[in-house]
Structure 1
Amino acid sequence: MITAAFFGFLYGFILCFTFGPAFFRLIQTSIDNGYKSGMLIALGVTAADAILMFLAVFGTAFLPQIDNFDMYLSVGGAVLLIGLGLISIFKQQPQLVYPKTKFGTVLYYFTSGLFLNLLNPSNYIAVFGTSTYLKGAQHFDLGQIIIFFCLSLVATMLAESLISYYANKMKKVLTPKIITRINQVAGLVFIGSAMAILYKQFMI
């Protein structure tokens, strides 16, 4: 159990630094709108991970049988990423203060993190591949796998909280021009990720 907990925590922490769309969205939001907004992104990302891990552990029996589900998932994720990318690239004046807390704002940032993970097929591959590896190669039982993924969720939330906190602190030394460049780089990452998703879906 201790081994499962240790490697689960390590897995979750490292997974946050894979520099995917959610990582850049977290940094971008924390710099533009503050730590609280970044934390909502982090909560959404962690919630998405929890959903994927639940499905990986207990199977996909809860999912409806939908023809071409992977294609719809890929296209939906790509459209979301392209939209975020265009907004990031062409946004002219970054805001260095976070908005007032309202339900709509909370929902917006939370669902941004949630859907960035749920609509990214590579996350399914990572989580389901890890689950298969734990069962097959490491011979983890159900209890050990649950502990592994639970600790990975704790580590994910901790790591993303730290990323959000220090990204927000950085805005004190960043000029609006530099923040604009960060947003543009994030936008290019979003669009590049969308192109990669579509390429894997339709060209391979």
Structure 2
Amino acid sequence: MLQDILAALPLGLFLAFLIGPVFFILLETAAMRGFRAALAFDLGVILADIVFLCVAYFGTNQLLLRIKDDPALFLFGGTVLTTYGIIGFLKVKKTSLNPAKFQIQKLKGKAYLGIAGKGFLLNFINIGVLGFWLGLIIVFGPSLDMQPNRLITFFSTVLITYLVIDIFKILLAKKLNKKLTPTRVAMAKKIISIVIIVFGTVLIFRGLFPNQTKKFEPGVEEIMPNP
């Protein structure tokens, strides 16, 4: 067991520093909404990862390999991400003349479930994440003898390591709270919206031109599947 844990730690560290839309939204949430809100968002993201891991483990390899490269799913996920980013950008532009709308407010009660759901959905619509976890099972599974107990230990360590590193990122981002002004908040929201639009566009392009993007697949896979 100890050997499996030690083998999983570097992978968890690597995942914690992958750059993707979830990464930027996590930092924004920490800076603007506080620690508990960012943690709720992160737990939602990890829940989506757990769902993908279960699907990758219990599904047949042939079906999953076909699903993960289905252009229609990339189009769907990319459209949702792009639409989300455009709406966020326009909302900021529309209200940018009203600084009061950007005052930092803490979430209360059931709102934490909503922000956890947001984290889950933003991660879940990225079909590249499913392909990523499936790839890890294919790569590391044989060395773990595909034993359920060893797989659970390995991937639990990966996710726990990822969560611990994210907690430190949240604490660091939270310190930006005191330096935020209405103008800076508006600018940050616009930048994050643009980042989401870019990632969504990449997914759409991958869905529309699957053959052309296959040669760039290693680089795309490294960036996109940020759990």
TM-score bracket for the superposition, by shorter chain length = 0.7 to 0.9
Q: Tell me which protein shows more helix as a share of its residues.
A: 2
User: Percentage identity across aligned positions?
Assistant: 23
SS at 1:96's partner residue? coil
Deviations 1:21-71 (A, max 9, x none): 11111111222222221111101011011111122233359x9xxx99945
Of 106, 109, 114, the residue aligned with 1:102 is 109
Structure-to-structure mapping, 1:31-180, within 5 angstroms = 31-59=31-59, 70-90=70-90, 91=92, 92=96, 93-99=101-107, 101-103=108-110, 105-136=111-142, 138=143, 140-142=145-147, 143-180=149-186
Indicate if the aligned counterparts of 1:33 and 1:95 stay in contact, CA closer than 8 A.
no
More divergent stretch after superposition (125-134 vs 172-181): 172-181
Matched residue type, 1:181: M
- Quickly say closer, same or farther: Cα 1:95–1:81, change in 2 above 3 A: farther
Q: What is residue 22 of structure 1 aligned with on the other side?
A: 22
Deviations 1:93-124 (A, max 9, x none): 4332223x232x22321111101111112211
Deviation beyond 3 Å, 4+ runs, structure 1: 67-73, 138-141
Matched residue type, 1:163: K
Indicate if the aligned counterparts of 1:57 and 1:145 stay in contact, CA closer than 8 A.
no
Q: What is residue 11 of structure 1 aligned with on the other side?
A: 11
Matched residue type, 1:119: I
What is the root-mean-square deviation of aligned Cα atoms in Å? Answer: 2.7
- Quickly say closer, same or farther: Cα 1:106–1:31, change in 2 above 3 A: same
SS at 2:204's partner residue? helix
TM-score computed with the length of structure 1 as normaliser: 0.84
Once residues 46 and 187 of structure 1 are traced to their aligned partners in structure 2, the CA distance between those partners, rounded to angstroms, is 22
- Listed as ranges, the gaps of 5+ residues in structure 1 are none
- Quickly say closer, same or farther: Cα 1:69–1:169, change in 2 above 3 A: same
Indicate if the aligned counterparts of 2:75 and 2:208 stay in contact, CA closer than 8 A.
no
Of 197, 200, 204, the residue aligned with 2:206 is 200
Matched residue type, 1:95: Q
TM-score computed with the length of structure 2 as normaliser: 0.77
More divergent stretch after superposition (183-192 vs 154-163): 154-163
- Quickly say closer, same or farther: Cα 1:150–1:68, change in 2 above 3 A: closer
1:72 Cα deviation from its structure 2 partner: 5.0
Aligned length: 199
